[in-house]
């Protein structure tokens, strides 16, 4: 496993910092977030030091998403929340605070006011603009038919 000095999550993976472990396998670790607005806020991380999902290989990506799925189901069964938020922040502008990839699985309750996706209703561009944006993204995907 790759490890980054001065990374709190790498220290947790190495067993140098204590965490309340929810799930662990060869590639992934899931543990309770220190902040619990609602019971059931879990972080799912790759054990290797990767900054965000853009650095995942297919195996790590599959392992992380499998763990997110399992943890999401378990949080739902354990706490019966009204809903869940599953999110991954990338970079300062995206709100990332620890630069080791982590997916939040957070129990949500009606009216808790946490993490609203938009400050107001987003614009809805015309279909032609959405098609143009999709084409621009597709141009940067590897090995896909155009």
Give the active site residues. Answer: 102
Alpha-carbon span 31 to 13, nearest angstrom: 10
Contact 82, 63 (CB under 8 A): no
Torsion of CA 119, 35, 47, 116, to 10 degrees: -10
What order of strands is seen across the sheet that includes strand 21-24?
21-24, 28-32, 41-46, 103-108, 83-87
Return the closest-CA partner of residue 39 out of 70, 84, 89: 84
- The closest of 61, 40, 57 to 104, measured between CA atoms, is 40
């Amino acid at each position: 496993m790759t490890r980054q000095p001065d990374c709190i999550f790498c220290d947790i993976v190495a067993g140098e910092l204590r965490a309340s472990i929810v799930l662990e396998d060869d590639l992934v670790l899931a543990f309770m977030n220190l902040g619990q607005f609602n019971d059931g806020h879990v972080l799912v991380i790759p054990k290797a030091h990767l900054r965000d999902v853009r650095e995942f290989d297919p195996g790590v990506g599959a392992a992380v998403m499998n763990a997110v799925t399992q943890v999401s189901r378990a949080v739902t069964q354990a706490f019966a929340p009204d809903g869940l938020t599953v999110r991954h922040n990338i970079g300062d502008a995206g709100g990332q605070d620890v630069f080791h990839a982590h997916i939040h699985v957070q129990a949500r309750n009606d009216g808790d006011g946490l993490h609203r996706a938009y400050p107001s209703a987003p614009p809805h561009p015309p279909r032609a603009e959405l098609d143009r944006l999709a084409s621009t993204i597709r141009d940067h995907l590897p090995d896909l038919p155009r």
